[in-house]
Amino acid sequence: MILESKYKPTFWLRNGHISTIFTSLFRKHHIVNYERKRIKTPDNDFLDLDCLFQNNQEKLAIIFHGLESDTQQDYMTGMAKMLFEQGFPSLH
């Protein structure tokens, strides 16, 4: 739980609804080349993980998208690209 935050949104994006709409309309699109890994589960189902790997495997970022989303959404590719550029391999 975040008890205190120093984050200060831009004055015209203080409303959460406006912030969500603005970012969905004006977010940059990033092209990310994921490597897909499939994990089979005991109940004959599967999990698909879209991965970006780095040479340095000491740190790992795991990014979860919402139920109605996928790893190709702009907010997911943007986070994956930013983390990858900072040396974090990631799973989605």
- pLDDT at residue 43, as a whole number: 97
Q: How many domains does the chain have?
A: 1
Flag whether 87 is in a domain.
Answer: yes
Flag whether 23 is in a domain.
Answer: no
Domain extent, residue 60, equals 30-91
- pLDDT at residue 42, as a whole number: 97
Per-residue pLDDT of the chain (92 residues; tens, 9 = 90+): 778 888 888 888 888 888 878 877 887 777 888 888 899 999 999 988 888 876 666 777 888 888 888 888 888 888 888 888 888 777 66
- pLDDT at residue 56, as a whole number: 60
- pLDDT at residue 39, as a whole number: 93
Whether the model pTM is above 0.85: no
- pLDDT at residue 92, as a whole number: 61
Torsion, CA 80, CA 82, CA 87, CA 88, rounded to 10 = -30
Flag whether 5 is in a domain.
Answer: no
